[in-house]
Amino acid sequence: MTTQLHLQIDDRSGVPVYRQIMDQIKYYVAGGTLRPGDQIPSIRELANAMAVNPTTVVKAYSELEAEGIIEKRHGKGAFIAAQAPALSVVDQEIALRRSAKQLAVEATQLQVPSPKVITVVREELGALSPERNDEDDPIKFSVLGGDRAS
């Protein structure tokens, strides 16, 4: 049965299903709920659980593999990859700066005071950083807004 994952797919959001899968797995990896070596649901298992075509899950898994997040093994399953070596500090900063700039522009447009922006970023970082609990989170599959399941 592999690791249980609590994935929520929202059909109404407009965000592609494969991308929702990617984002959420990334989130669990970032938060430490999923750790290197952990087995994640097989393509068919996940596709079946959320009532989508296996190819859609393949798409998500393939992209994640290309990003070095997971590793697929033929006949075995899919696993969280060993943590990739950190980029050079300059490359880190280039990538980070792009996202930060975008956040800054959006926050300004929303007229959010800077201190609040910092606070929220701190909170979101904090939600990920702590060493994760081991066997908490009753992790399940689920689907939202699905007129998918006939």
Q: CA 79, CA 90: separation in Å to the nearest integer? A: 29
- If one counts every other C-beta atom within 10 angstroms of the C-beta of residue 84, the result is 9
Q: CA 47, CA 41: separation in Å to the nearest integer? A: 9
> Between 58 and 87, how does the x/- string for binding to a copy of itself read (CB under 8 A)?
-----------x-------------x--xx
Among 49, 52, 64, 80, binds DNA (CB under 7 A): 52
Q: Say whether residue 133 binds a copy of itself (CB under 8 A).
A: no
Residue 51 vs 144, nearer CB to a copy of itself: 144
Q: Say whether residue 23 binds a copy of itself (CB under 8 A).
A: yes
Let me know: does 141 contact 49? Beta carbons within 8 Å: yes
Q: Say whether residue 62 binds DNA (CB under 7 A).
A: yes
Q: Say whether residue 57 binds a copy of itself (CB under 8 A).
A: no
Alpha helices in the chain (DSSP H): 17-31, 43-49, 54-66, 89-109, 114-126
Among 36, 108, 142, 145, binds a copy of itself (CB under 8 A): 108
